[in-house]
Amino acid sequence: MAQADTLETIYALIAPLNKKGITLKPESTFASDLELDSLTVMDLVADIEDEFDIILPLNLLPDLETIGHVADAVEKITNKG
């Protein structure tokens, strides 16, 4: 499970996109819970990549359905360096 500071940073990036005002949790999904379209998700991915100075591989993106999945992927990539 991702560290709290990684999750909080990602929550902060998602907050402006959280039109429904749901409580963000690691298990919150981008499609169902947040109702984000694919273009918005790609913009969010770009913001996350900029914030953490990483590249999320495109082949990994379909598997990142929840905030927790993204946070775990970010930590896996940042810990490799």
Q: What share of the chain is helix, strand, coil (3-state, %, to 5)?
A: 60, 0, 35
pTM of the model: 0.91
Q: Could you tell me if 26 and 60 are in contact, meaning their C-beta atoms sit under 8 angstroms apart?
A: no
| Overall number of domains in the chain | 1
Tell me the pLDDT tens digit for each residue of 26-68.
Answer: 999 999 999 999 999 999 999 999 999 999 998 998 899 999 9
What CATH number does the domain containing 13 carry? 1.10.1200.10
Q: Which residues are catalytic?
A: 37
Domain that holds residue 71: 4-80
Long-range contacts of 39-48 (CB under 8 A, 24+ apart): 44/13, 44/14, 44/17, 47/13, 48/10, 48/13, 48/74
